[in-house]
Structure 1
Amino acid sequence: MRVVIARCSVDYVGRLTAHLPLATRLLMVKADGSVLVHSDGGSYKPLNWMAPPCRMAEVDPSDDEREDGVIAAWAVQHTKSEDRLRVLIHEVLHDSSHDLGIDPGLVKDGVEAQLQALLAQHIQTLGEGYSLIRREYMTAIGPVDIMCRNADGATVAVEIKRRGDIDGVEQLTRYLELLNRDPHLQPVAGVFAAQQIKPQARTLAQDRGIRCVTLDYEALKGMDDSTARLF
């Protein structure tokens, strides 16, 4: 990655026209060819950018540009459209390049797969007497996150989400309709489990006879024992 801090102006021409007047900005050129223009604000979002596939060339400024104080110019051209980005640099305050290597990607804590594994390990979170049949119970329309039995020995299908919305309830409804056609499983009840459940999803689930359970991720991890809290 190349990182440049410079006093510059930027012009974008393509599906729209945009101009950034002369100011001190952060310019980033990434290994994938993308070019991003940042200010000291606005969080992560650049003021302007060119996404790959594109190519960048450092070109000589025109005579008029030199008279205006431009010492270098970047011409960035998208390879699949007419979009162009031109950066006119008046002063370079910093210019460095760094090999960041291969990024391993973002590892999220509390994703659905982790919730599923923890709930399977602590299946009695759903109620006393619950027992696990299996995780990822395969059906013709996809895998049910958890299949288990309640204290009465009845089969229960559990759909797990980080944030429970109407789509998740609809998904579980389809699983239940299919599972209840199997005479070896029926009747199959449903549990919709999530860290957060939207009111509309809860209303729809209750209307369809599906039980809603709010999961405490920290408690499942054993990092937070809710029974030991004072408040």
Structure 2
Amino acid sequence: MKTLLHAAGLAAWLAMSQASAGISLNGTRVIFDGAHPEASVTVRNHGADILVQSWLEALDSDKAELPFAITPPLTRLPAGQEQLLRILYAGAGASDQQETAFWLNVQEIPQAAGKGNVLQLAVRQRVKVFYRPPGLDGDALQAPERLRWRLRRERGNSWLQADNPSRYHVTVTGLTLLSGGKSKEISRAQMLAPGAGGQWPLPADTANDARLRYQIINDFGASQAFEARLQGVAPAQPQRLEP
């Protein structure tokens, strides 16, 4: 009984701690227009006085150091206040032919606790930054419509293949394949890099004629629905679905 009460009390305490987490960002992603010298993010503190630590990192942690910097990397943020974080480009090192994506991490560091044993949580938020070099061909809003979808079969295995010929990243999620009167949910979201592709395993008996429905995440963090009619290995262009 005591164990159950202790567990319930701890769960309630964690829920209250999470509900009172101090910081929030003004967006779920950052678009860095290369025509401007910097991009900015606003951090708001809804709780007590804290320190905010911010840093950038590559999507692939094995990659070399990024040609970007963030300032201030560490700052005190009083209760009820906000802080502007500035992301700066070194001027060289990122591709000028396609979009570059990387992570922005913002971590709340609570003040030191007083006397006694107190569990403190350092809450971290992580969003993607998309750097778009000036004069980039195409339009990010039209990039999702340029995706090409097809079914692949090899040695008894089947895959759903997507190719992104655009110069922009496209994030797809909530995929559902409709085939033979059945629907197959493909839950794994994936970000397709410029000029690259992605694939999802499918049941071996997936019909050659199928409809694919999915969502993409746009610059504003909102979802937009698309559908593609698949005819075997022939590339299929998606169509935007009206809300």
In which range does the TM-score fall when normalised by the shorter chain? under 0.3
TM-score of the aligned structures, taking structure 1 as reference length:
0.24
TM-score of the aligned structures, taking structure 2 as reference length:
0.23
* Greater relative contact order (CA < 8 Å, ≥ 6 in sequence): 2
From the two aligned structures, give the one with the greater helix fraction. Answer: 1
Largest Rg, 1 or 2: 1
